[in-house]
Amino acid sequence: MEKVLLGMSGGVDSSVSAILLKEQGYEVIGITLELFGEDSKTKEAITEAKKLCDYLKIPHITLNLKKEFKCKVIDNFIEAYSNQRTPNPCIECNKYMKFGAMYEKAQELGCNYIATGHYAKIEYSNEYKKHVLKKAKNISKDQSYVLYSIQKQLLDKLIFPLGNLESKEDVRKIAREHNLEVANKPDSEDICFIPDGNYKKFLEENSNIKPKQGNIIKRDGEILGKHNGLYNYTIGQRKGLGISYKSPLFVIGFNKEKNEVIVGKENELYRKEMKVGDVNLLLMDKLEKPLDVTVKIRYSSKPAEAIINQTEEGIIQVIFKEPQRGITPGQSAVFYINDVVVGGGKILVS
């Protein structure tokens, strides 16, 4: 019987994943990662996961990764906002914690695979002659976007049990059939280390980032008002600027040296090209020639047609068929061919 180490958060997705893996004949070990603090939410997750594992008669362990999480995820989050980039901490967590440290623990325990409750698929592709990461069958819940940073060497070691389920209701139905208390537990939408969702307060309390007043300007230098710290603003923001003008204005950029927020009309938010760094390619080692793909520039965006080309080491140029709105440095761009993930990286300046 092959062993699999399953990441468990105490929620319905990872709980149902445990059931499906057992039904498929795997020897399952549940693991809950301790990532930050001593808050009640962390303790609750550990308690719920252990309770579920006891119910399913599978072993449960915890792994303390607080030091690593702070270094790789929280510090990266703070550094990004310090430089007017908008990070996605889930991607860093997946790269270093769930598919980094957790995989190392799996090897230590003699596990053949690791698994999580993510909505995505790993399949062997005859076309590419390798295991590939694909979008989930349930496109509305698909999480392949936040998984592009996985090392490609791990793809044949991963299992996503929920990848072929039609809907979230199917997951809850399985949970109810097995009398799981978490069957109707709501999904968590927050950044896990900022449970109240107030990232500005988190930055002020956990870093050197503090309110610092500066000018809100147009591209031509016209001063329209004052801001209270660059970290309070994001590309595309319209509300809460505290300025009045004859037409709607949006945040289109920043000047860190002069501590300025730059605003402009909506058409100034659109870009046809961008550069992507910190690239991780899953289908190949490097792009030998331009490639037609679709690109997601944020988790919730629709894929847009584009051509990608490797212009220099670790940098990919993206040219969109149609200009895209609100391209945001620090967010990830993920490339697809149909439902297969080619790879992705961090958006630099457009």
Map tokens 């399949």 to a residue: 123
Q: 53, 90, 111, 192: which one is catalytic?
A: 192
Q: How far apart are CA 307 and CA 302, in angstroms?
A: 16
DSSP assignment of 185-246, as one string?
Answer: PPPP-S-TT-TT--HHHHHHHHSS-----EEEEETT--EEEEES-GGG--TT--TT-----S
Q: 53, 90, 93, 111: which one is catalytic?
A: 93
Active site residue 93: yes
What are the backbone angles phi and psi of residue 322, rounded to the nearest 5°?
-125, 140
What are the backbone angles phi and psi of residue 309, rounded to the nearest 5°?
-150, 135
Which one, of 128, 172, 163, 126, lies nearest residue 144 by Cα? 163
263, 243 in Cβ contact below 8 A?
A: yes
Q: How far apart are CA 162 and CA 166, in angstroms?
A: 9
90, 126 in Cβ contact below 8 A?
A: no
Q: How far apart are CA 169 and CA 256, in angstroms?
A: 46
Q: 80 forms bridges with which residues in the sheet?
A: none
Q: How far apart are CA 130 and CA 257, in angstroms?
A: 47
Map tokens 């997705």 to a residue: 13
Q: How far apart are the first and last CA of the chain?
A: 50
81, 209 in Cβ contact below 8 A?
A: yes
What are the backbone angles phi and psi of residue 312, rounded to the nearest 5°?
-155, 170
CB atoms within 10 A of CB 86: 17
Active site residue 111: no
Structure tokens of 149?
């940073």
Structure tokens of 128?
């590419």
Name the residues annotated as catalytic. Answer: 93, 192
